[in-house]
Amino acid sequence: MELSGIHHLTAVSAQIRASHRFYTQTLGMRLVKRSVNQDDTSAYHLFYADAKGSPGSDLTFFDWPVPSERRGTRAITRTALRVAGPAALAWWAAHLRAQGLAVGEPLEQDGRLTLAFEDPEGQRLALIDDGGLGPSFPWERSPVPAEHQVRGLGPILISVPSLPPTQRLLQQALNMRLVRQYAHADTPQHPVHVFEMGPGGPAAELHVAVQPELPPAQPGAGGVHHVAFRIPDDAYDAWAERLNTLRVANSGKVDRFWFRSLYFREPNGILFELATDGPGFGVDEDAATLGEHVVLPPFLEPQRAAIIARLKPLD
């Protein structure tokens, strides 16, 4: 049993309208699902992705009016987005600077050209060169040229105070492989450990920074809620059984309608999810109009009028 890669990452925004503008206009991603948090229907849950809403391309946001995250360890600390080639990174550096963001020049990190930056709420992001490997599905209505568009999620960086407990979970429960190390830009005295899953490569890596000198992070806006890893649809039951057999405390089976999920925390408290590829975002919307209207899973449809009345306009 192997994970297929990164499925999605869910972050927190306290300024959802400005966040929507940034991810659709500045980053040029497509809003492929406009819904609500299924456990807190007062909040939007917005999904940004490639043109098709492909698994592995989703960067999603909960709409919570909370204070800003206090940075530290025991947290997901940077989300990479994949683009194709040095020319794309050079274009992005100029584009982000033109939008008023503090951006340096692309630098090599872990053998890949990388451009680190933050969104206006302090969400830590990076664009990385994935060499153009694998399929891509540019969105024709994006303000970003097709050849430079975000192709999907790249490596996710987490911070922990101690490696061994997390390493045991990653290797023994999730069957990830420790493949290399590199120096962290902020704490070079401690290496970042690269764990690979499934086929490997930039779409299937979890990077673990060991930073014992940092205080625990306090969740908030500009922070990350959880990361999800891809599993094949037909492996869902087996993964649920595996977590239980290994006594990994978990949510049990959760049907999110567009995918099925299993939630659990690694030993430092970081929330992980296993999510199936299917049935996908096209199960209840036409591909041409993904994300244009608020859609709800069937179990929330009877509450549609009350839910919609509480949501603020996005556009």
Residue range 253-311, pLDDT digits in tens: 999 999 999 999 999 999 999 999 999 999 999 999 999 999 999 999 999 999 999 99
Residue range 158-216, pLDDT digits in tens: 999 999 999 999 999 999 999 999 998 888 888 999 999 999 999 999 999 999 999 99
Residue % of the chain over a pLDDT of 70: 100
Residue range 215-250, pLDDT digits in tens: 999 999 999 999 999 999 999 999 999 999 999 999
What CA–CA distance (Å, rounded) separates 67 from 151?
A: 31
Residue 95: per-residue pLDDT: 98
Strand 191-196 vs strand 40-49: parallel, antiparallel, or unpaired? unpaired
Residue 186: per-residue pLDDT: 82
Asked whether 79 and 70 are in contact (CB, 8 A), the reply is no
| Backbone angle region of 201, left / alpha / beta, with phi > 0 → left and psi within -120 to 50 → alpha | left
Residue 229: per-residue pLDDT: 98
Residue 26: per-residue pLDDT: 98
Residue 187: per-residue pLDDT: 81
The yes-or-no verdict on residue 84 having pLDDT over 90 is yes
Residue 164: per-residue pLDDT: 98
Across the range 5-23, mean pLDDT stands at: 98
Could you tell me where the beta strands, DSSP code E, fall in the chain? 5-13, 30-37, 40-49, 58-63, 75-83, 107-109, 112-118, 124-129, 152-160, 177-183, 191-196, 205-210, 224-231, 254-255, 259-265, 271-279
